[in-house]
């Protein structure tokens, strides 16, 4: 039992939150990893502040009216999107690295290996797209974390993959309502359903329901997701 069993990191596990409050180190580690975006976020905020004066013509709540409130709204919106995209990028780095290690492990062959390669390739494409999005938003992409995963048997690895994908889908769903830019939202939505497809396929392969939440998928907040991925991050 030197590593968490898959059951222990399932999204519905209630102990995860308790662990977060008891031991914030994994969260700190994760946030530090994403910290690369913070400096750039501030710079972006300054850029927006400089542009804020242009916006006098719009004039209602929700829009950015006076230069004071307007600027702070615009700036927090943009930094919010950057934080979310870098959060997603870190999750995708984890997933891509996981599948690369799974493929290297030699535990799989045939159709299952084929599926793992397809999924791993998707995660790598997500990494690239999200990195480009951070660049486009004027931020600094999160650093690729060093990871470790328990790769003992094909059975436990497939179960872990299913857990990771279900968590990933829940993580994207948890952020949908927080994204300000329609373009970023469109990208996130199109990745979200691919994570859902991965989760469904892996659930079926492990003998679980394709739709474990029933008719409505449950979202997961950053606070719920971070402690569950913490154990896989070395630095």
Dihedral, 190, 144, 235, 1 alpha carbons, nearest 10: 50
Integer Cα distance of 103 and 107 in angstroms: 7
54-113 residues near another protein, rule: CB under 8 A = 54-55, 57-58, 60, 62-64, 74-75, 78
Question: Is 185 an interacting residue with respect to another protein (CB under 8 A)?
Answer: yes
Q: Is the CB of residue 136 less than 8 Å from the CB of residue 146?
A: no
Question: Is 210 an interacting residue with respect to another protein (CB under 8 A)?
Answer: yes
Question: Is 118 an interacting residue with respect to another protein (CB under 8 A)?
Answer: yes
Integer Cα distance of 106 and 160 in angstroms: 16
Quick one: which segment of 33-41, 145-153, 215-223, 226-234 binds another protein (CB under 8 A)?
Answer: 215-223
Q: Is the CB of residue 34 less than 8 Å from the CB of residue 90?
A: yes
Question: Is 182 an interacting residue with respect to another protein (CB under 8 A)?
Answer: yes
Phi, psi torsion values for 147, nearest 5 degrees: -125, 160
134-163 residues near another protein, rule: CB under 8 A = 136-138
Per DSSP, the three-state class of 153 is coil
Which positions touch another protein (CB under 8 A)? 47-48, 51-52, 54-55, 57-58, 60, 62-64, 74-75, 78, 115, 118-119, 121-122, 125-126, 129, 136-138, 169, 173, 176-177, 180-183, 185-187, 189-194, 196-201, 203-204, 209-211, 213-219
């Amino acid at each position: 039992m030197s590593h968490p069993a898959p059951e222990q990191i399932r999204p519905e596990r209630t102990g995860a939150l308790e662990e977060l409050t008891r031991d914030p180190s994994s969260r700190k580690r994760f946030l530090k990893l994403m910290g690369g975006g913070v400096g750039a976020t501030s710079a972006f905020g300054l850029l927006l502040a400089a542009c804020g004066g242009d916006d006098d013509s719009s004039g209602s709540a929700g829009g950015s009216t006076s230069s004071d409130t307007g600027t702070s709204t615009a700036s927090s919106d943009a930094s919010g999107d950057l934080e979310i995209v870098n959060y997603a990028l870190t999750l995708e780095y984890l997933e891509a690295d996981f599948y690369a290690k799974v493929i290297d492990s030699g535990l799989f062959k045939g159709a299952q290996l084929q599926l793992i390669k397809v999924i791993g390739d998707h995660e790598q494409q997500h990494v690239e797209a999200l990195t480009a999005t951070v660049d486009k938003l004027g931020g600094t992409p999160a650093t690729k974390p060093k990871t470790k995963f328990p790769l003992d048997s094909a059975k436990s690895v497939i179960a872990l993959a299913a857990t990771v994908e279900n968590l990933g889908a829940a993580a994207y769903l948890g952020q949908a309502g927080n994204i300000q830019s329609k373009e970023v939202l469109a990208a996130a939505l199109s990745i979200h359903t691919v994570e859902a497809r991965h989760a469904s396929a892996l659930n079926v392969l492990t003998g679980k329901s394709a739709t474990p939440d029933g008719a409505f998928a449950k979202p997961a907040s950053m606070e719920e997701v971070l402690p569950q991925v913490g154990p896989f991050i070395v630095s």
